[in-house]
Structure 1
Amino acid sequence: MKKTLSIIALSVIGLGLVSCKKENKEVAGTETSVGADSAATVTPVAGDSAVAPAGTPASNQPLTTIALSESNFDFGKIKKGDKVEHIYEVTNTGTNPLVISEVKPGCGCTAPDFTKEPIMPGKKGKITLHFDSTNFDGNVSKFADVFANVEKTPIKLTFTANIQP
């Protein structure tokens, strides 16, 4: 019985690793396009409180608003095996400190870095997404969910790339 359970557990873990390697298609509902010259803004309604759906990280900080330099980036053509990164700039457009509590990538091939300290009103912070193209071919679309003390969380950041052999 223990041997059977061990085999099942290893199979499930193995499938999770393979799914990231083979994922080349865009996930439905994950793209939010904002032109490079425009900004995406999330604004709370007065009197609302931050309530996140069950299972999602939530900040207990007062709500604020955020503007993104962009929410989608296209790396264009990159060579298979390249490790690339893009920095998404965020601006606190509200009156309370902006706290980014977590950035959750949709796949293990994407690793986030982000400003950990509170971003004061009017100030800027950064979210960097690092992408390893080793296990991909052709067009790919990836995302990361940003959890912060804004009304509509998570905020979805996306990027695309065309992986060349």
Structure 2
Amino acid sequence: MYLKNWLFVLAVAAVSFGQISCDNRKQGESAKATASGKMPKITFEEKGIYDFGTLTEGDTVEHTFKFVNTGEFPLIINNITASCGCTTPEWPREPIAPGQTSSIRVRFNSRGKSGEQNKTVTIFANTDPSMTDLQFKALVNPKADSTQKS
């Protein structure tokens, strides 16, 4: 009889522990969803692909992409990479507070380029998702004395 009581207590304890584990998992998932909703968010004023229009080979142009941190925590841009060496991004190195506006300047050098150019700048930040792409395009006409094509 003593053994049956002991097994019963052990079974109840195991079921209770399992319930607590499930509750902890649910609480963890709930906390993650709540935190994800508050993560920094980079929201750009412009949508879509920025068009520099028609350029002559060798022209250097730049555009400033303005954004707002629409999250609830400071936004930190860790790095920005460009799809080609002809593109140079400049970004704020300090955290951007919630609600604060800032910008990323992108410079495109069309030297050695011709035809339709489609470029991507990838932003790595403490956002969800952690990568955000900016895209631009340009139509590069060759110089009158240029015989090179790329």
TM-score by shorter chain over 0.5 = yes
1:141 paired residue among 118, 123, 144 = 118
Which gives a bigger RCO, structure 1 or 2 (Cα 8 Å, sep 6+)? 1
For 1:16-55, what aligned pairs fall within 5 Å after superposition? 45-48=33-36
Unaligned 5+ segments in structure 1 are 1-43, 49-61
Q: Is 2:77 aligned against 1:100?
A: yes
Q: Is 2:58 aligned against 1:81?
A: yes
In the other structure, the counterpart of 2:25 is none
For 1:118-157, what aligned pairs fall within 5 Å after superposition? 118-157=95-134
Query: What TM-score do you get using the length of structure 1 for normalisation?
Result: 0.62
The alpha carbon displacement at 1:69 in A equals: 1.4
- Residues 34-58 of structure 1, C-alpha deviation per residue, up to 9 Å, x if partnerless? xxxxxxxxxx94345xxxxxxxxxx
- Residues 119-140 of structure 1, C-alpha deviation per residue, up to 9 Å, x if partnerless? 1111111111111101111111
Q: Is 2:52 aligned against 1:64?
A: no
The alpha carbon displacement at 1:72 in A equals: 2.2
In the other structure, the counterpart of 2:135 is 158
CA distance in 2, matches of 1:45, 1:107: 36
Cα–Cα, structure 1 residues 45 and 108, in superposed 2: closer, same or farther, change >3 Å?
Answer: farther
The alpha carbon displacement at 1:108 in A equals: 0.7
Q: Give the helix-richer structure, 1 or 2.
A: 2
- Residues 84-127 of structure 1, C-alpha deviation per residue, up to 9 Å, x if partnerless? 11111110011111111111101111111001111111111111
Tell me the percent identity.
Answer: 35
The alpha carbon displacement at 1:149 in A equals: 0.9
State how many pairs are aligned: 110
CA distance in 2, matches of 1:100, 1:109: 21
Question: What is the RMSD computed on CA atoms of the aligned residues?
Answer: 2.0
Query: What TM-score do you get using the length of structure 2 for normalisation?
Result: 0.68
Cα–Cα, structure 1 residues 73 and 94, in superposed 2: closer, same or farther, change >3 Å?
Answer: same
CA distance in 2, matches of 1:125, 1:47: 23
Runs of 4+ in 1 over 2 A off after TM superposition: 44-48
